[in-house]
Amino acid sequence: MPAATRTLTPTPAQSAGNSTIRFNPAASTGQPSTLFVVNVEVDAVVNLGSYEFTVTFNPAVVNVQNVALGDFLGSSGRTATPLGPNIDNEAGQLTFGAFSFGAASGPSGAGTVAQVTLQAMAAGSSSLTFTQTQLTDTLGRVLLPLSTIPGSVTIP
């Protein structure tokens, strides 16, 4: 008897208004060799269930030391679990994400989804640019449209 085949249907995107992912503060300053934190925040999300992002940066100016889960994803009572981080300070790339599970609805509105600890390496400036980003609701539907707002770091 031949094996049954199954066709998967992709989950359609969900319109969430004008969701945004951004850095706070948008422009940071640090002294060489010091550590400082920038938050990754979302705005205007509805029923957030998961997120993922990749950020590029100039590794001659700044390195990523750590990424921690922010408090927003679990703020509605769901259990939030981080995915990563994957930090490549040689290439200047960070990938991080998180998902949540539980019976409650996902959080809506605005909040901090991640805290990125950076180390100033040398004088100069670096953009913090989102290259791949996705937000989904608790059913796995992509929240669209999504705007990304880059950040910047200046080391005097």
Residues 22-49 pLDDT 10s: 999 999 988 889 999 999 999 999 999 9
Instruction: Give the chain as a DSSP string.
Output: -PPPP--PPPPPPEEEEEEEEEEESSEEE--TT-EEEEEEEEEEESSEEEEEEEEE--TTTEEEEEEEE-SSTTTTSPEEEEEEEEEETTTTEEEEEEEEESSSPPP-EEEEEEEEEEEE-SSEEEEEEEEEEEEEETTSPBEEEEEEE-EEEEE-
- Between these two residues, 6 and 142, which has the higher pLDDT value? 142
Domain boundaries, the chain: 18-136
pLDDT, mean of residues 92-113: 98
Q: What is the mean pLDDT of the chain?
A: 92
Assigned CATH topology for domain 18-136: Immunoglobulin-like (2.60.40)
pLDDT for res 14: 62
The overall pTM is greater than 0.85? yes
